Structure 1
């Protein structure tokens, strides 16, 4: 379901991409989100998306690691990614634009005015 051959699971831990916002850095890098809603551990997740395995040379093996990488990013900085799609390794490099507001954030912003 994740697009990784079973014998390769140990090598390909990473961060599953569920959604990619239009015009975001992920969109610019070519990342694809999932499209198959699935229950996993009592939570609904979207399977079928890319799996980020490295960011700026750091192997992503745990959720907290991925969050640490994201927290250190600044607008205008370059990020080099390695991700898997259908078991194939893909590399991308993108300069981080200012993140666009997503629909939910726009609604909150509009209610405050």
Structure 2
């Protein structure tokens, strides 16, 4: 993970773990009066020293920019990897054009509950 001024970049080994942490952060942020914008994507990254970068990082950043305060948005890739996770449901937000990304990306809002 890495602090980015007013943001945080975190790396997870599973989509399910990323979603669980993202939902917990969004809830905690709301309770503390610090509304967070959260976006998740899964893909290959380049690791160099304490940095992580690459296309997957860019897509996650662009998705977080689409989220409302306290909302967790994920790419279709993350939803596909985690769709059988208990305790969450996904709401389709449609295909979104993301700056610096050639093809539109289907985005889903994550909600707690079946």
Please indicate, yes or no, whether the TM-score normalized by the shorter chain is above 0.5: no
Comparing both structures, which one devotes a greater share of its residues to helix? Answer: 2
- Return the TM-score normalized by structure 2: 0.27
Point out which structure has higher relative CO (alpha carbons under 8 A, 6+ apart): 1
Q: Which has the larger radius of gyration?
A: 1
